[in-house]
Chain A
Amino acid sequence: MENNIHAFILIPLLGFILLALQNKKSERLISSITLLTMIAQLGLFFTATVLWFAQGRPIWEHADFTLYQHEDYSFVIDFYWDKATWVYLGVGAFLVFLVSFYSKTYMHREEGYKRFFMNLTFFFIGFNIVVLAGNFETLFIGWEILGISSFLLIAFYRNRYLPVKNAVKVFSIYRIGDLGILLAMWLSHHFWHVNISFNELNHHDLVIEHWTEQSAVGVAIALMILITAMAKSAQFPFSSWLPRAMEGPTPSSAIFYGSLAVHIGVFLLLRTAHFWEAQDIVRWIIGLVGIITAGIATVIARVQGSIKSQIAYSSIAQIGLMFVELSMGWYDLVLIHFAGNAFLRTYQLLVSPSVVTYLIKEQFYHFTPRVKTVEDSLPKKIEYSLYMLSLKEFNLDSFMYRYLWNPTKRLGARLSFIRHGWMWALALVALVVSYAILKEGEAGEHYRHYFPYVFASIAILLVLKAFTERKLVFWSWGMIILNHMMVAVAIMFNEEFTWDHVLLYLGGIVVAGAAGYYILGRLRSQGYPVDLDQFHGLSRSHGKLAFAFLLACLGLTGFPITTTFLGEDLIFSHIHEDQWLLALLTGFSFILDGLAVIRIYARIFLGPHAESIFEMGYRSS
């Protein structure tokens, strides 16, 4: 079994490919394929469970294959199986099966039936990769899949305004998680000097030895992991995305945001527990985050007037408790809590439409106006203030805007005086000048270590321009491509970054970038004024192009479908551990890249269609 763990990924992958081949009208085939996939997966899970127990529940690890090897750098697809894997994998397979069964009828005749099941299976692939991953690199592949499938499911009703808006919003929070994990990977390279696998974290002495050597770096890694986990599990202050993610069909909300996706942060902490558990400070912080979240989310849940957001906040509060349990080292309890909470919230979400039937009936019997609650015993002033604060979700939703995206946008707006053409010129000049300086030999080499910062800064400028461009899509797209090039140049100056690495990194970018240009050009030649100042919703009339463009977008954001994904990881391995600034600049530009790209996709292909021959909902609907 140990050597065949990849079957858990191959089965849903096969299902996914089969689904892709079906006609979107053949509902029965589509749901049958999905169900068969899920049943096969469950069967495999039971087989594996029997074997695992028979062997006395050992830890299984298997380095499946090496994706890329270069000197001391290797990208190994590595699988790992322990108790946490077992629980997450089992709960996941079981719930996805139930929800597929449920959706088979529930989604009947819905536009996007096929899209729904493909998304679900895609998500399932990502989920399995994450829980089976044996190292950060493998985990990151699954992580990216989770992010993008979440985006697509939230924006399932892609021709309405709010789902698209909220999908972008949630994606932006996920992107912060991605940054955390990228930085954690970067630091880990330096902390361990090799690509560490999770199994090696079990060597207590080894871990302790490294911690004593460089505890600051250790704490930094732990914090990066924590931030990632917090973002993904909607912990304070990231909580407000969860209720907003409930835009898709009810079963998808149930599986993603009621149960599986939202517990992935907990899993990440469980998986890395052996790394951070010996450090009290880390445990304190995790516990504190958990307590704060549990408290705040509970109060917010109490004032919610909509059933789905009530369930969402209750679930967040429970996850907060799981963080506390993690900090106490009660890992088994965490697993039980996770499974129970996932089951309970999935069920609650699935039956949420019936809350009217139930509660109205209940009121007919037991109505008492204005039930006294605990809070009524508070002093009036505190009671009112707390109520309003909870109603406004502790202003968490505006928090991200106020402190991150709006300043970024303002910064970008300040740069609006810079014409797009100048940016290309600037990049070119910088290249020429650097080259000239280097030619000076000794004297030039003296300045060499500034170059990476210069180019990374140019890269940031570019991506800021791209991110804040409100109209010209071609320029925006171009800025993103150029941004990647500048990042590559920056790293080339930083260290021996060979041409084949550059090729690896930029290969995907160039292909995806060209494809994107081609598609945008085609739309423009068809008379669509493709620009970014409004939604165009072209997926409705150009389904296939939309899909192709989505692939181009993924390519451009370093999604694991092109070599750029490897290159991204490689780039970080070439940033020294003391080069925090460079790492941050590079990381930040990846994050903004992703956002800018997804925004372009959303503006061109999602939202209300430009032509009103299609029924159009209210913007507020």
Chain B
Amino acid sequence: MSLEKTGTVKFSEHEVLHELKHYLPAQAPLKDFVHHNTLHSFQDRKFEQALLEAFEIFGFKGNLTLREYRDLFKSGKIDVRILKEKIAVNFPDQKMEQVLDKMLNGKYPKSNSPRIGKLRSNWKRTFKIDLDSLVHPTLFRILSAYLDQGISIWNFPIDAGGFMASMREFERNAYGSLFKSDRVRALLMNEKTTLTEVLNILVGDEKWFEQYIFDQQFAHPGWSGIVSVIEDAPHSLLDERKVSLHDLVLFESLMEIDQLDQNFGQVWSPIAFRLAEEPIHLFEPVYFKEISIILYTFHQAFEESYYQQVLTGLLETRKFSHESAQVPSFQALFCIDDRECSFRRYIEQLDPQCSTFGTPGFFGVEFYYKPANEKFYTKLCPAPVFPKYLIKEEGTSAYRKSEIHYQPASFGLIRGALLSMTYGFISPFKLIKNLLSPEVSSATSLSFNHMDKDAQLTIECKNGEHENDLQIGFTVEEMAIRVENVLRSIGLVKDFAPLVYVIGHGASSTNNPHYAAYDCGACSGRAGSVNGRVLSFMANHVEVRKILASKGIHIPDETQFVGALHDTTRDEIDFYADSLNTKNVQLHANNTETFKRALDFNSLERSRRFESVTDKSSATHVHQQIRNRSVSLFEPRPELNHATNALCIVGRRGLTSQVFLDRRSFLNSYDYQIDPEGNYLFGILRAAAPVCGGINLEYYFSRVDNQKLGAGSKLPHNVMGLIGVANGTDGDLRPGLPSQMIEVHDPVRLLIIVEHFPEVVLKTIQRDAATYEWFKNEWVHLVAVHPEKNELYRYKDGQMHSMTLQEFELMNDQHLSELLKNELDNLPVIKLSQNGK
């Protein structure tokens, strides 16, 4: 239901559930954790408007607190000149000094109560009954038992075609009943019972049905959200379950009626008949108050203060032409991931002759992957893509150790007794071992385990074999298309070095239910090793090269592509280089050294935010401590993942190679000269806006409202059914990011910077409505950097406006190494001088 339809009283089950689904959290089960915009449901509105509505309607905080902004102002992170600019725009009719004074010293009311829950709170107020505490515990238990993916040993005994049907089967075939009230029992058993019927009893007035359902479901958005996700994507569970939001609402309403019947007998008036006061309709228009304008003015100034420094840095250090006379020593493709920023910087520092590229880490090859000995397919491409290909791992010797602590035996009575009296005495020593010298254990999710290095992959499809409607491998033509696309989109079409690395990334963490959130987002929360290897195979294929040559991309025969995996947590790299020619073997050995040293430095740079790293005597030392973190049972921050991400820069490396961006930028390589029409750019932005934007906004919202939009502290988390986490045993599921992942994040929207002519950029973003929405409604910012002149253009309200920056004095890198050792906070933009390129 949209705002305009407020007046309608007609209740349409279908429409309301659809609407509800839209607003509920959309996080998939834990194993498929993929970042997305937490407030995706508001994306059709302008950012500020959306935040206001989210706050007034649902009570979601969309900004930092006034106090935090004031502190940022005091610390200089909000530039006073920029703040004044923003005030002039947002408070056109007021005196600057007055507004500034209000912003810095004004007092504003501290409480605000959202609209959600107001209607249903009448049970408590008027009827003196706390339905939530009567219904939730049992409801959550039943849901978690029904959806459980393997924690329980005796699993839900019925699967009679869906949740409701199973509950009816229970009712029919068990002693006693789920319900105490006869009429509720009758309603349950009647398969024709509609929501309308039930809501008539409960609410009474059709006008309030929608609001009631929203109130009811938003009292436990976690469970409702997962039900809604599973309804739409049953495959996200290995052990599939049929459940629907409709069933949940119906069942919960029945439970509520049952409680009311128990308390009041069968005669009680529906809630709508006894409203103390009429609540405001949920989607009634909302209006800006002064405080909300102040908050977003602060916020815009905060973002802009950072953006302008970055842009200043880019303009002052960029190199227009990076044509070099000789062929690079090697080339390396990385994921656009912000965590690769610093790694690339160190590689380039150590080997100024090399060149590095960024592109989404699935490397343009989309497929399902089936590891040897496993029973399921894993998608290895962005989540919204549904590939038609399957790649299988074959011939692995890897086997899996089983671990008693997770086995059902330890939860049994007799076996549990025997185990505790024997194996129990080993447990503390395992713990001590991990405390003193942690190593990889069964509690670890290790990126290198994603694929066995020695196994074969079925990459090429020769005879058109299929499995479950998926083609096994790619044909030569299909390969050529993909290789060409990737190479052109990053601007690598000539001067191929003898070795071209295709480096995917993954992460390792231990004792961490959110492990999937640390892996490569472009590979649906998996490691990118397979993709790296697959693209290399394709690009090395003789037939593929022939086709490429016919399209003008000549890859010399001695050039070899090599797949690799960078573990961003442990800062380790592993190459899949099995058939190198003799000359390349030597080169590769040298390059490997470069990579390894770069990783030492990289871990040193990362370590500045880790308090556990105390010994900073040498990079190798630090690196070892970093590795330990990833396998420590007690380390809730194996790495900081995408925290602090703020930028996405699409352009040639010359634009960014001389500036220190503190691992805050997604970097997508792109050469405007190859793509005058913006065709490849379109592909890049269509992915970058939702993927990088999604990551950015998930961090953003989890940071500003960690309680409602994030998962809170992960320390008390309890794994429910392998699909989600809750606090304790009675709680609702907690989607979003835990506080340990976002605490150092500065919540700013993503600034996408594109190196191309403004008119091309504008046309490109407008090609696709869904992509354009991100820019139009300002969920991400966009600046075009003129590729031939030092000029900037900013997207605003459908146009690219020429942009001027405030003057910023940027630091140079004299003290950078000191800062990298000791500074805990985000570092400013710094101009680099050493990089040769």
Max chain A CB contacts within 10 Å: which of B421, B718, B719, B727?
B718
Roughly how many angstroms separate A163 CA and B416 CA in the complex, as a whole number? Answer: 29
Q: Please indicate which of the listed interface residues A345, A363, A390 has the most CB atoms of chain B within 10 Å of its own CB.
A: A363
B706-721 residues with Cβ-Cβ distance < 8 A to A are: 706-708, 712-721
Residues of B within 8 Å of A417, CB to CB, are none
Cα-based distance from A223 to B632 in the complex (angstroms):
46
- Asked if B425 CB lies within 8 Å of chain A CBs, one says yes
Q: Is the CB of A303 within 8 A of B731?
A: no
Q: Using Cβ atoms and an 8 Å threshold, which residues of chain A touch B413?
A: 294-295, 298, 317-318, 321
A615 near B728 (CB under 8 angstroms)? Answer: no
Which residues from chain A contact B416 at a C-beta distance below 8 Å?
314, 317-318
The proximity string for B residues 128-172 relative to A, scoring 1 for CB distances below 8 Å and 0 otherwise, is 000011001110011011011111111111110000000001100
Taken residue by residue from 668 to 685, chain B's Cβ proximity to chain A (1 for < 8 Å, 0 otherwise) reads as 000000000000000000
Answer yes or no: A408 CB below 8 A from chain B CBs: no
Contact (Cβ within 8 A) B417 A321: yes
B174 with A385: CB separation less than 8 A: yes
Answer whether residue A279 sits at the interface, using C-beta atoms and an 8 A cutoff. no
A98-B432, A337-B417, A344-B419 known; A110-B151 Cβ under 8 A: no
Contact string against B for A residues 341-371, beta-carbon threshold 8 Å, 1 for contact and 0 otherwise: 1111111101111111111111111110111
**B731 and A343 within 8 A (CB):** no
Q: Does B633 make an interface contact (CB < 8 A)? A: yes
CA distance A120 to B732 in the complex (A): 27
- Evaluate contact between A367 and B239: CB separation under 8 angstroms: yes
Q: A45-53, A101-109, A121-129: which one contacts chain B? A: A101-109
Inter-subunit contact B427/A365 (CB<8 Å): no
- Are A373 and B427 in touch, CB under 8 angstroms? no
Q: Which of B441-449, B462-470, B573-581, B643-651 contacts A (4 or more CB under 8 A)?
A: B441-449
Centre residue among B159, B373, B717 by max chain A CB count within 10 A:
B717
Other-chain contact of A307, B175, B432, B719, B731 (Cβ < 8 Å)? B719
Which residues of A, 81-113, contact B by the 8 Å Cβ criterion?
Answer: 94-95, 98, 101-110
A17 beta carbon closer than 8 Å to chain B: no
Taking a contact as CB atoms under 8 Å apart, the answer to whether B65 and A247 are in contact is: no
B373:A365 contact, CB within 8 angstroms: yes
Give complex CA distance A309, B726 in Å: 12
Interface assignment of B5: CB less than 8 Å from any CB of chain A = no
Check: B375 CB closer than 8 A to any chain A CB: yes
B222 contact set on A, CB distance < 8 A: 618, 620-621
Partner of B708, one of A105, A305, A387, A615: A615
Q: B618 contacts the other chain (Cβ, under 8 Å)?
A: no
Question: Are B145 and A303 within 8 A (Cβ)?
Answer: yes
Interface contact B431-A306, CB-CB below 8 Å: no
Among B238, B420, B715, B734, the residue within 8 A (CB) of A249 is B715
CB atoms of B154 and A375 under 8 A apart? yes
Bound: A307/B159 CA distance, A: 22
Question: Distance (Å) between the CB of B612 and the closest chain A CB?
Answer: 6
Residues of A with C-beta under 8 A to B142: 391
A250 shortest CB reach to chain B, Å: 6
Q: How far is the CB of A606 from chain B (nearest CB, A)?
A: 15
Interface status of A54 (Cβ within 8 A of chain B): no
Q: Interface stretch among A60-68, A188-196, A213-221, A376-384?
A: A376-384
Within B220-249, the residues touching A (CB, 8 Å) are: 220-222, 238-239
Number of A-B contacts (CB under 8 A): 342
| Chain B proximity of A592: nearest CB distance (Å) | 21
**Nearest Cβ distance between residue B370 and chain A, in whole angstroms?**
10
**Interface pair B719/A363, CB less than 8 Å apart:** no
Residue of A nearest to B402 (CB): A362
For the residues of B in contact with A, the DSSP-based class is: loop
Q: Decide: A306 and B720 in contact? CB cutoff 8 A.
A: yes
Contact with B along A158-197 (1 / 0, CB 8 A): 0010110110000000000000000000000000000000
Chain A hits for B410, CB < 8 A = 314, 344, 348
In the complex, are the beta carbons of A244 and B173 less than 8 A apart?
no
Distance of A106 Cα from B176 Cα, bound (Å): 46
- Chain A contacts with B in 575-621, Cβ cutoff 8 A: 610-613, 615-621
CA–CA, A620 to B223, complex, Å? Answer: 10
The answer to the question of B44 belonging to the interface, with a C-beta cut-off of 8 Å to chain A, is no
Contact A105–B405 (Cβ < 8 Å): no
> Is A340 interfacial (CB-CB < 8 Å)?
yes
The reply to whether the CB of A203 lies closer than 8 angstroms to some CB of chain B is no
Least distance between B657 CB and chain A CB atoms (Å): 34
Q: How far is the CA of A391 from the CA of B144 in the complex (A)?
A: 10
Q: How would you classify the secondary structure of chain A's contact residues: helix, strand, loop or mixed? A: helix
Most buried by A among B59, B138, B373, B707: B707
B interface residue count range (under 10 / 10 to 19 / 20 to 34 / 35 or more):
35 or more
- B376 engages A367 (CB within 8 Å): yes
Interface centre among A157, A253, A353, A389 (most CB of B within 10 A): A353
**Bound Cα distance from A353 to B639, whole angstroms:** 17
361-420 of chain A: CB within 8 A of chain B: 361-367, 369-371, 373-376, 380-385, 387-392, 397
> Closest chain A residue to B717 by CB distance?
A353
B-chain residues with CB within 8 Å of residue A390 when the two chains form the complex? 154
Kindly state the separation between the CA atoms of A29 and B65 in the bound complex, as whole angstroms.
Answer: 31
A302 within 8 A of B: yes
- A347–B427 touching, CB < 8 Å: yes
CA–CA, A458 and B374, complex, Å: 71
Tell me which residues from 145 to 160 in chain A have a Cβ below 8 Å from any Cβ of chain B: 156-157, 160
Quick one: given A162-B730, A343-B424, A344-B423, are A303 and B220 in contact (CB under 8 Å)?
no
* CA gap between A504 and B513 in the complex, in Å: 54
Instruction: Say yes or no for A246: interface residue by CB 8 A criterion.
Output: yes
Set A106, A371, A392: member contacting B141, Cβ < 8 A: A392
Assembly CA distance A337 to B416 (angstroms): 10
A243 within 8 Å of B (CB atoms): yes
Also in contact, A619 and B633, with CB within 8 A (given A347-B428, A354-B511, A361-B400): no
User: A573 at the A/B interface (Cβ < 8 Å)?
Assistant: no
Question: A310-B411, A318-B416, A343-B424 in contact; A612/B111 too (CB < 8 A)?
Answer: yes
For B635, give the chain A residue with the smallest CB separation.
Answer: A105
By a CB distance below 8 angstroms, the chain A residues around B373 are 365
Task: Tell yes or no: A566 within 8 A of B by CB.
Answer: no
Q: Give a binary string over A212-252; 1 marks a CB under 8 Å from any B CB, 0 the rest.
A: 00000000000000000000000000000001101111110
* Residue interface mask B794-811, A partner, CB < 8 A = 1: 000000000000000000
Indicate if the CB atoms of A385 and B375 lie closer than 8 Å. no
**Once bound together, how far apart are the Cα atoms of A166 and B729, in whole Å?**
10
Contact mask A248-265 → B, CB, 8 Å, 1/0? 111101000000000000
The smallest beta-carbon distance between A255 and chain B, in angstroms, is 12
**Residue among A356, A360, A373, A392 with most chain B CB within 10 A:** A356
Task: Let me know if A103 and B141 touch, CB within 8 A.
Answer: no
Contacts of A611 in B (CB 8 A): 110-111
- CB atoms of B712 and A340 under 8 A apart: no
Neighbouring B residues of A303 by C-beta, 8 Å: 145, 152-155
Closest partner residue, chain A, to B219 (CB atom): A620
Distance in Å: Cβ of A211 to nearest Cβ of chain B: 32
Q: How far is the CA of A301 from the CA of B729 in the complex (A)?
A: 13
A308 within 8 A of B: yes
A-B contact pairs, 18 of them (CB 8 A): A109-B740, A162-B730, A166-B730, A306-B729, A308-B719, A311-B411, A314-B411, A353-B714, A354-B445, A358-B406, A359-B406, A391-B141, A615-B705, A617-B712, A618-B219, A618-B732, A620-B132, A621-B712
Closest 6 CB pairs of A and B: A340-B424, A354-B443, A344-B424, A347-B427, A305-B144, A249-B715
Q: Kindly list 7 other residue pairs between chains A and B, CB separation below 8 angstroms, not including A157-B727, A337-B420, A381-B175.
A: A102-B634, A103-B634, A306-B726, A308-B718, A321-B417, A373-B155, A620-B136
